[in-house]
Structure 1
Amino acid sequence: MESIFHEKQEGSLCAQHCLNNLLQGEYFTPVELSSIAHQLDEEERIRMAEGGVTSEEYRTFLQQPSGNMDDSGFFSIQVISNALRVWGLELILFNSREYQQLMIDPINEKAFICNYKEHWFTVRKLGQQWFNLNSLLTGPELISDTYLALFLAQLQQEGYSIFVIRGNLPDCEAEQILRIMRVEQRQRPRLIGEEAAAQSRGSQGMSLQRSVEVGQGLEEGIVDEDEEELRRALALSRQDMEVEDEEADLRRAIQLSMLGAAGTSNTTESSHGGTSQTAKSTQAQDVPSQTPGGTQSEKLSAEELRKRRQAYFDRQSQQQAQSTSPQQNSQGTGRPESEKGSQAHDMDTKHAQ
């Protein structure tokens, strides 16, 4: 199959591809076909001028575009026919009455040229096998002998004009190789548009796969960010719990210290009335009042609780210092009340003597 010459479609140069695929080589270029088209246009102009250059038909002909070529690269059947005439080849309409009367089996022909809506392509026999050399295909398509007649009939039903090539085609490498061997084709070639669409779908599939992978990566990144945020939140909550635990411990310590102070104040009250009353008033100021929602100390900050506790301990220390002063004064005399009475009695005895 690699030895078969097959030009693929470029623009609207299907007539050029058709001729080169038929002849199995780069025999014609757009410039050469354009030259043939201009020559045909000039011949037509000369024929129209024979009726008079001042006639309305002639002026209308000059205003019309060329019927043999256009800017897209299309060439008419006249251009193709003239190009093949150089090689001694002739075109015969396949479904014409003259050809049908010959009753020739298509497999005994050498080549066909097919045309539909300005598209041209070649079907040629190489060796003992037929090939569809349509320039719109990605490669030559093998056609069996039994399928050739059905293939041509299908083209006619689709509106194609089919021309039989008569004459001796130039020899080519593919012809020489396929004379001594036959080829098999396991996979038929696609149309160029189908291959481009398949490649586009493949690229879109790859793009979609990459998008999914990127999306998954983004989701993983988001999950990682969420996990990081969760870790930070847990860390902050642990810090808050530690602060709350410290505040709770502080509140319990204050309550215990207040309970201890209350016990001390009750003992002092039994021996020192004035001091007891002062301690009670001080305790009433420092012990927080109970509320349905909790104690007032629970609403205070840790720093305020520390300050109040320190102030409470300072006042306790001052009260204890004041309560111990009278005892120290009485102990400073070194004599109890009985001794004071005895001393007074002795003084009176001396004066009596």
Structure 2
Amino acid sequence: MKLQEGSLCAQHCLNNLLQGEYFTPVDLSSIAHQLDEEERMRMAEGGMASEEYRTTCVHPSLPMTNKSKVISNALRVWGLELILFNSPEYRRLMINPINEKAFICNYKEHWFTIRKLGQQWFNLNSLLTGPELISDTYLALFLAQLQQEGYSIFVIRGNLPECEAEQILGIMRVHQHQRPRLIGEDEAQTSVGYVCGKTMF
């Protein structure tokens, strides 16, 4: 799979989740290529003369693996799992979103992370000039709004790696007086935590 315009979003999404420079576009492309090869081998077992094999596997430039599988495999390295937020299995658990640790959101080619750091939630969307504070009371409404807009939302399960932001925000709370803007809304505005399209603490 060739990770094109969405590759940096996926990379930033993962690195914002983990709060470090853990993945490059090359890493994600390599995972995608490996998944594609595994898929081709599975299809070949069904016969190379099959229509599915001929239309999908004869054209290596056509991606077979969707990015959610790539992201899922990338997170598996860290012992983390993606669970679809609005799946019947998850809804049956009746878990309040504020009791989770993080979410990954996707719409078309855009991916971003919502993560709890310390006792507070942050929207770490790389299209913003900096992290956006989300109150506990607003989190469920924000997730519902994203779903209405067509986003797929995944819950992150497992232990996230330790990070400096978690340690700092574990002993102090952030107060945000002004929401970060979308990149490009105000070219003159700068924000601590925003570097080259990445939103990290």
Indicate whether 1:49 and 2:44 are aligned.
Answer: yes
Q: Please tell me the residue identity of whatever aligns with 1:161.
A: S
Secondary structure (helix, strand or coil) at the match of 1:194 reads coil
Q: CA deviation at 1:113?
A: 0.3
Q: How many residues align?
A: 183
Whole-Å Cα distance in 1 between the matches of residues 90 and 29 of structure 2? 31
Q: CA deviation at 1:57?
A: 2.5
Q: CA deviation at 1:193?
A: 2.8
Indicate whether 1:66 and 2:63 are aligned.
Answer: yes
Q: Is the Cα–Cα contact under 8 Å of residues 137 and 191 in structure 1 kept in the other structure? A: yes
Whole-Å Cα distance in 2 between the matches of residues 60 and 143 of structure 1? 45
The CA deviation string for residues 30-81 of structure 1, in whole angstroms up to 9 with x for no partner, is 111111000000001001101212333222112440133xxxxxx6100000
> What corresponds to 1:109 in structure 2?
100
Q: CA deviation at 1:137?
A: 0.4
Indicate whether 1:120 and 2:115 are aligned.
Answer: no
Secondary structure (helix, strand or coil) at the match of 2:185 reads helix
By relative contact order (CA 8 Å, sep 6+), the higher-ranking structure is 2
Q: Is the Cα–Cα contact under 8 Å of residues 67 and 76 in structure 1 kept in the other structure? A: no
Whole-Å Cα distance in 2 between the matches of residues 42 and 137 of structure 1? 36
Indicate whether 1:37 and 2:32 are aligned.
Answer: yes
Q: Please tell me the residue identity of whatever aligns with 1:94.
A: F
Q: Which residue of 13, 21, 24 maps to 1:18?
A: 13
Q: Please tell me the residue identity of whatever aligns with 1:62.
A: C
TM-score by length of 2: 0.87
The CA deviation string for residues 270-304 of structure 1, in whole angstroms up to 9 with x for no partner, is xxxxxxxxxxxxxxxxxxxxxxxxxxxxxxxxxxx
> What corresponds to 1:205 in structure 2?
none
> What corresponds to 1:100 in structure 2?
91
Q: Is the Cα–Cα contact under 8 Å of residues 56 and 64 in structure 2 kept in the other structure? A: no
> What corresponds to 1:173 in structure 2?
164
The structure number with the bigger radius of gyration is: 1
Q: Which protein is richer in helix relative to its size?
A: 1
Q: Which residue of 8, 23, 29 maps to 1:28?
A: 23
> What corresponds to 2:148 in structure 1?
157
Displaced runs of 4 or more, over 3 A: none
TM-score by length of 1: 0.50
What does 1:1-353 align with in structure 2 at a 5 Å threshold?
12=6, 13-64=8-59, 65-68=62-65, 76-196=67-187
**% identical equivalent positions:** 84
Q: Please tell me the residue identity of whatever aligns with 1:193.
A: G
**What RMSD in Å do the two structures reach over aligned CA positions?**
1.6
Structure 1 residues not aligned, in runs of 5+: 1-10, 69-74, 200-353
Secondary structure (helix, strand or coil) at the match of 1:193 reads coil
